[in-house]
């Protein structure tokens, strides 16, 4: 879901902008000053910041500088009640995508937000969507293109972090509906009562606090695409109403007797086996068959290892600060290639983001991965010796030395872990490092 941070010391302005973005399907956080806004940004790294310039304490310019230093691709829209040419120049030179004068034109704000979304989608496609040449990944993208040309609903079943939402967005962008809304709702993010309102909307007075009618995600996605993210988390009592909405493309708002008709395509994603959930009685069989018109699966990253280096280089460029040239050491790339990546592409992205943030020099080496949580929580990779090192005539001593080197590289230099994998004592590993004269042996991680 698109995330926006609204920062303004005027409560009325915050409330108005929050309502505007919520109506358009954004996830919204608000702050009353620059310092509070910066603290919230550190925790979430929003895609867009909309901030007033003149506020007590840290002003909008300071917030923009600090936020863009942490995440250079975050977009910033500056607001002011005191328009001036110097401020406008400073705003654009500082990296703001727009500079709006209060009272804010919601039409212009929406245009700027849509431009930001389009740029983000383009970056996402260049960064992740088209990266990789593994046959399983190319087959998945080919299937997505075929699905996009039709009007049929799509069900994507894959592990977390493989890019399910990305592929859903690609299907929308490749489809005839590309000029209409793409609306996403996370079915796991709401309790049952709120999820019904989120999907189908509600009438004024439908429940306590419903002071105005609200359009749901089905209505907002009219003529476009609706993403039902993690549909396996849909509460069982709500599934019949979802089934009717999918079959008839018609539904009732909560607390309303009038039906609303829509024309949309649904893409559903799940990291669970819906077939197994049907067997266990936790998911309706008729809803499963209604969603599963065009089934798709995405390969986990461990099944497309040939793409890891390309993806890592993409993420390195994406997260590197402007003007800084970073590179990945060959030994680090080899380590990345043999890791199993249980968190898939998302885990790889976070790994590179951390490595960039902690990098001291221009080359990022194994020290970026030599953390206790990496070693403890991730299984050790299989270590394969090159064929030329197995040829007749190679001494056992040379083989032992090479195996020790590769094990230390694969464990990020952790000697205790290397000893465990090799089935020897830590003392033996230390002695072998010394006897073989391995370079920089004292820099390896201690027990």
The CATH number assigned to the domain with range 302-369 reads: 1.10.8.60
Give residue limits of the domains in the chain.
3-116, 130-297, 302-369, 387-443
22-76 pLDDT, tens per residue? 888 888 999 999 889 988 887 777 888 999 888 887 788 888 888 876 666 678 8
200-227 pLDDT, tens per residue? 987 877 677 666 777 889 988 899 999 9
> Regarding the domain with residue range 3-116, which homologous superfamily does it belong to in the CATH classification?
Response regulator (3.40.50.2300)
Residue 322 above 50 pLDDT?
yes
Residue 150 above 60 pLDDT?
yes
329-369 pLDDT, tens per residue? 988 888 898 888 988 998 898 888 888 888 888 899 887 77
- Residue ranges with strand state E in 331-391: 363-364
At 430, give phi and psi (nearest 5°).
-60, -45
> E strand or H helix at 26, and its extent?
none
Interatomic CA distance for residues 114 and 183, integer angstroms: 13
> What is the value of pTM for the model shown?
0.59
pLDDT at residue 143, rounded to an integer: 95
Buried b / exposed e over 151-166, threshold 16 CB at 10 Å, is: eebbbbbbbebbbbbb
Interatomic CA distance for residues 295 and 153, integer angstroms: 9
Cis bond upstream, residue 49 (ω within 30) = no
85-97 pLDDT, tens per residue? 566 666 666 667 7
Closest CA to 328 of 350, 300, 361, 301: 361
* 3-116 and 130-297 in the same fold: yes
Residues 6+ apart with CB under 8 A from 396: none
The architecture of the domain spanning 387-443 is: Orthogonal Bundle (1.10)
Provide the CATH topology of domain 130-297. Answer: Rossmann fold (3.40.50)
For the chain, the average pLDDT equals: 82
């Amino acid at each position: 879901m698109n995330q926006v941070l609204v920062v303004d010391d005027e409560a009325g302005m915050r409330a108005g902008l929050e309502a505007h973005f919520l109506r358009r399907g954004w996830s919204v956080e608000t702050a009353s000053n620059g310092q509070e806004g910066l603290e919230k940004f550190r925790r979430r790294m929003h895609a867009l910041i909309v901030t007033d310039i003149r506020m007590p304490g840290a002003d909008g310019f300071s917030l923009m500088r600090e936020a863009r230093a942490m995440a250079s691709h975050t977009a910033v829209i500056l607001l002011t009640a005191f328009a001036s040419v110097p401020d406008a120049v400073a705003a654009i030179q500082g990296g703001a995508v727009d500079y709006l004068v209060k009272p804010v034109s919601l039409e212009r704000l929406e245009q700027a937000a849509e431009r930001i979304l389009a740029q983000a989608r383009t970056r996402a496609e260049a960064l992740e969507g088209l990266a990789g040449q593994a046959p399983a990944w190319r087959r998945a993208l080919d299937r997505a293109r075929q699905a996009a040309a039709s009007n049929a609903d799509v069900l994507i079943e894959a592990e977390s972090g493989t890019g399910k939402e990305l592929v859903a967005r690609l299907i929308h962008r490749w489809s005839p509906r590309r000029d209409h809304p793409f609306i996403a709702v996370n079915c796991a993010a709401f309790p049952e009562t709120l999820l019904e309102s989120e999907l189908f909307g509600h009438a004024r007075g439908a429940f306590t606090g419903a002071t105005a009618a609200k359009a749901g995600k089905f209505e907002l996605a009219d003529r476009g695409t609706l993403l039902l993210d993690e549909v396996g988390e849909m509460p069982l009592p709500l599934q019949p109403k979802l089934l009717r909405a999918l079959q008839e493309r018609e539904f009732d708002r909560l607390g309303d007797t009038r039906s609303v008709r829509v024309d949309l395509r649904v893409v559903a994603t799940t990291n669970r086996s819906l077939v197994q959930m049907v067997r266990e009685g936790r998911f309706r069989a008729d809803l499963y068959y209604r969603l599963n018109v065009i089934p798709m699966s995405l390969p986990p990253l461990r099944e497309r290892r040939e793409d890891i280096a390309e993806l890592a280089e993409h993420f390195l460029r994406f997260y590197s600060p402007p003007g800084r040239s970073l590179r990945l050491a060959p030994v680090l790339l080899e380590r990345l290639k043999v890791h199993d990546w249980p968190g898939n592409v998302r885990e790889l992205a976070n790994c590179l983001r951390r490595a960039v943030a902690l990098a001291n020099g221009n080359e990022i080496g194994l020290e970026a991965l030599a953390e206790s949580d990496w070693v403890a929580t991730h299984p050790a990779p299989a270590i394969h010796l090159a064929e030329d090192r197995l040829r007749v005539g190679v001494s056992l001593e040379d083989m032992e030395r090479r195996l020790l080197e590769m094990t230390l590289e694969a464990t990020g230099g952790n000697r205790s872990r290397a000893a465990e994998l090799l089935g020897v004592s830590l003392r033996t590993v230390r002695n072998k490092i010394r006897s073989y004269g391995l370079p920089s042996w004292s820099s390896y991680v201690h027990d």
